[in-house]
């Protein structure tokens, strides 16, 4: 079937098979490989994208359902090569280790900040409950979000002897 | 990879029911897809046709009518419930259960009706709907019918639904509005997880009802119990409706123990107010 989807502001028309997931459509048909496939079961959140203004696991959406819809992915986060404030905070705090979860983390963090501009640490943990980081670098991710929402307090520098 | 199927998104209820009826059991209804698409990937479901319900006008309606009750259309998502002020005010127990369902992204897609139709023993929405005496509104080409939620589940992943039938909405009556209710779900981690057990307790006009998930083939609920009953008698009632099993998550004994422990704590919380 033919679908027409707006992804990061660009309208794409593609012929797809009905069993194509939105994730595969983004990665394989459009070449937007920033969005990752992790568990394929709705547990890990690596495939999180915005679909019609809400974060979803793109593995659990059919491309057919996205016909006429609007999708935003990690590729749309930076503006003409300039990192968004959220991305810059992730970079500054070392919130990226292997990087596999990062695209999904950024999507969920953006949604969290949108609905709650000054989230507490607990609220950040709750907002990101659907995104797993198997490097377990959660602390830096939380710090980055506290920072970008103007709530980060510099820790005293550790002195190694 | 997901098996081959065809996809239809009818724009009217009659078209949808026509499709469903002519598929003769080879179709699956797609709403949030958070259970269905995962099940299709693992090969549990192999439908030839997916019928998307989300394009039918009215199915996304979440409406409260003073004096009547709350209607939850079959495309209403879990996060629609969480963020609804009127549900929060009138049916706080629904919000409490909804908040505990999976993760934020899943709640953006998963629907209340889907959670019920899926008929998992560990359904998060069922305990609240059972406590609040909800009614399941069903349609097919043969006509419409309403089934009390207490009679809807018939076994693990089984319901009274016939192959040509669709749940169009769930109705929660006014008589359950503003009820004091609490829900607690035991899970391995604080974040999203399937429950080891879930217990909901509600107090409506001096009558208490206790609903339990993950401790029987279906979510279950006690009959209306008088508030003045002793704790011991209430817990005996709870024990009589559950039939826990041992599985990968925990043993039968632990499940039984935790259901009774949570029921006790929640009963104390509810009667303290």
Quote the minimal CA–CA distance from B214 to chain A in Å.
19
Q: Are residues A90 and A68 in the same domain?
A: no
How far apart (Å, rounded) are the C-alpha atoms in residues B43 and B37?
10
Tell me the CATH number at A34: 3.10.20.30
Tell me, yes or no, whether A61 and A89 share the same domain: no
Q: Which residues of B touch A42 (CB under 8 A)?
A: 34, 38, 102-103, 105-106
Q: From CA B175, how far away is CA B134, in angstroms rounded?
A: 10
β-bridge partners, B143: B140
Instruction: Clarify whether residues A72 and A92 are in a common domain.
Output: no
Query: What is the pLDDT at residue A156?
Result: 67
Regarding whether A58 and A116 lie in a shared domain, the answer is: no
Q: Are residues A100 and A144 in the same domain?
A: yes
Chain B positions touching A105 (Cβ under 8 A) are: none
Cβ of residue A75 closer than 8 Å to a chain B Cβ: no
| Residues A69 and A90 both lie in one domain | no
Candidate from B37, B41, B104 with C-beta closest to A55: B104
In a domain? residue A62: yes
A chain contacts of residue B194, beta-carbon cutoff 8 Å: none
Same domain, A47 and A10: yes
- For residue B210, give both structure tokens: 């206790």
Whether the predicted pLDDT of A158 surpasses 80: no
Q: Is residue A106 part of a domain?
A: yes
Give the mean pLDDT of A75-92: 96
Task: Tell me which residue in A17, A57, A64 faces B106 most closely, judged by beta carbons.
Answer: A57
The answer to whether domain B62-176 has CATH 3.30.465.10 is: yes
- Chain B residue with the nearest C-alpha to that of A104: B105
Best probe of the A interface among B100, B104, B110, by most A CBs < 10 A, is B104
Phi, psi of B73 (to 5 degrees): -65, 165
CA dihedral B23, B78, B117, B139 (to 10 degrees): -60
> Could B1 and A19 be called an inter-chain contact, meaning their C-beta atoms sit closer than 8 Å?
yes
Mean pLDDT of all residues in B27-49: 95
Please state the domain count of chain A: 2
Looking at the fold, whether A50 and A67 belong to one and the same domain comes out as yes
Q: What is the pLDDT of residues B120-156, one digit of tens each?
A: 999 999 999 999 999 999 999 999 999 999 999 999 9
> What is the per-residue pLDDT across A4-14, written as a single tens digit (0 to 9) for each?
999 999 999 99
Which of B30, B103, B109 is nearest residue A129 as measured by Cβ atoms? B103
Residue A138 lies in a domain: yes
Residues A30 and A63 both lie in one domain: yes
Environment class of residue B37 by beta-carbon count within 10 Å: exposed (0-12), middle (13-18) or buried (19+)? buried
pLDDT tens sequence across B71-129: 999 999 999 999 999 999 999 999 999 999 999 999 999 999 999 999 999 999 999 99
A87-100 mean pLDDT = 96
CB atoms within 10 A of CB A143: 22
Q: What is the pLDDT of residue B3?
A: 87
Domain stops at, among A25, A52, A76? A76
Residue A36 lies in a domain: yes
Side-by-side strand order, sheet with B27-30: B6-8, B49-52, B27-30
pLDDT band for position B273 (cuts 50, 70, 90)? low
Q: Are the beta carbons of A64 and B38 separated by less than 8 Å?
A: no
Residue A68 lies in a domain: yes
Mean pLDDT within B13-32: 97
Domain that holds residue A11: 2-76
Residue of A nearest to B54 (CA): A65
Among A76, A105, A131, identify where a domain stops: A76
Interface test with A, best of B37, B76, B103, B111 (most A CBs within 10 A): B103
Minimal-distance CA residue of chain B relative to A129: B191
Q: Where are the alpha helices (DSSP H) in A5-84?
A: 22-24
- State whether A70 and A92 are in the same domain: no
Closest partner residue to A42 (CB to CB) among B2, B54, B106 is: B106
Q: Determine what percent of chain A is predicted with pLDDT higher than 70.
A: 96
Q: Per-residue pLDDT for B249 more than 80? A: yes
Q: Which pTM does this prediction carry? A: 0.94
Q: Which residues of B touch A43 (CB under 8 A)?
A: 192
The CATH number of residue A92's host domain is 1.10.150.120
| Predicted local distance difference test score (pLDDT) of residue B225 | 96
Kindly determine whether residue A62 and residue B7, on different chains, have CB atoms separated by under 8 Å.
Answer: yes
Q: What is the average per-residue pLDDT within A128-152?
A: 95
Residue ending a domain, choose from A76, A97, A116:
A76
| pLDDT (0 to 100) of residue B214 | 96
CB spacing of B104 vs A129 below 8 angstroms: yes
CB B139 within 8 A of CB B13: yes
- The residue with greater pLDDT, B159 or A161, is B159
Q: Identify the closest residue of chain B to A107 by CA–CA distance.
A: B105
Q: Return the higher-pLDDT residue of B172 and A42.
A: B172
Of A30-39, B68-77, B202-211, B264-273, the range with the lowest mean pLDDT is B264-273
- Strands A2-7 and A70-72, by their bridges, are parallel
Q: Is A136 on the interface with B (CB under 8 A)?
A: no
Residue A121 makes CB contacts below 8 A (sequence gap 6+) with A142, A146
User: Is the Cα dihedral B37, B39, B45, B46 positive or negative?
Assistant: positive
Domain spanning B180-271: CATH 3.30.390.50 = yes
Q: Where are the beta strands (DSSP E) in chain B?
A: 6-8, 27-30, 49-52, 62-65, 69-73, 135-140, 143-148, 153-155, 158-159, 166-173, 180-186, 197-204, 207-213, 220-221, 225-226
**Where in chain B are the domains?**
6-52, 62-176, 180-271
Q: In B, which residues are within 8 Å of A54 by CB distance?
A: 79, 108
Q: Which position has the token pair 């009820």? A: B179
ipTM of the complex, rounded to two decimals: 0.92
* Residue A53 and residue A112 in one domain: no
Which CATH code of 3.40.50.300, 3.30.43.10, 3.40.50.720, 2.60.40.10 fits the domain covering B6-52?
3.30.43.10
Q: Do A19 and B4 touch (CB under 8 A)?
A: yes
Q: What is the mean pLDDT of residues A74-78?
A: 97
């Amino acid at each position: 079937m033919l679908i027409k989807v707006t992804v990061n502001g660009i309208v794409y028309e593609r012929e797809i098979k009905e069993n194509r997931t939105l994730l595969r459509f983004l990665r394989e048909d459009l070449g937007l490989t920033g969005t990752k496939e992790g568990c394929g079961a709705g547990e890990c959140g690596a495939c999180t994208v915005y679909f019609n203004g809400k974060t979803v696991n793109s593995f659990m959406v059919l491309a057919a359902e996205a016909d006429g819809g609007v999708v935003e992915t990690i590729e749309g986060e930076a503006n003409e090569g300039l990192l968004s404030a959220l991305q810059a905070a992730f970079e500054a705090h070392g919130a990226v280790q292997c990087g596999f979860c990062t695209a999904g983390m950024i999507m969920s963090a953006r949604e969290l900040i949108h609905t709650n501009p000054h989230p507490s640490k607990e609220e950040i943990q709750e907002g990101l409950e659907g995104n797993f980081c198997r490097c377990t670098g959660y602390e830096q991710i939380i710090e980055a979000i506290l920072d970008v929402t103007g709530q980060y307090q510099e820790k005293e520098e550790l002195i190694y002897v | 990879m997901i098996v081959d199927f065809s996809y239809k998104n009818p724009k009217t209820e009659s078209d949808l029911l026509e499709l469903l009826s002519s598929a003769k059991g080879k179709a699956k209804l797609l709403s949030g897809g958070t259970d269905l698409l995962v099940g299709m990937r693992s090969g549990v479901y192999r439908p030839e046709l997916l019928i998307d319900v989300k394009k039918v006008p009215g199915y996304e309606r979440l409406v409260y009518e003073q004096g009547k009750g709350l209607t939850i259309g079959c495309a209403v998502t879990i996060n629609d419930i969480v963020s609804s002020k009127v549900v929060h005010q009138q049916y706080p127990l629904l919000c409490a259960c909804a908040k505990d369902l999976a993760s934020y992204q899943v709640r953006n897609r998963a629907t209340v009706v889907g959670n019920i139709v899926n008929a998992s023993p560990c359904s998060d929405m069922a305990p609240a709907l059972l406590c609040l005496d909800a009614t399941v509104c069903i349609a097919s080409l043969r006509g419409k019918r309403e089934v009390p939620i207490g009679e809807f589940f018939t076994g693990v992943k089984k319901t009274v639904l016939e192959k040509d039938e669709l749940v169009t909405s769930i109705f929660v009556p006014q008589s359950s509005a503003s009820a004091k209710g609490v829900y607690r779900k035991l899970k391995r981690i604080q974040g999203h997880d399937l429950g080891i057990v879930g217990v909901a307790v509600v107090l409506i006009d001096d009558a208490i009802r206790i609903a339990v998930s993950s401790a029987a083939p279906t979510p279950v609920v006690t009959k209306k119990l008088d508030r003045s009953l002793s704790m011991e008698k209430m817990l005996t009632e709870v024990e009589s409706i559950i039939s826990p099993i041992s599985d990968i998550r925990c043993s039968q004994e632990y499940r039984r123990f935790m259901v009774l422990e949570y029921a006790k704590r929640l009963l104390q919380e509810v009667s303290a107010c």
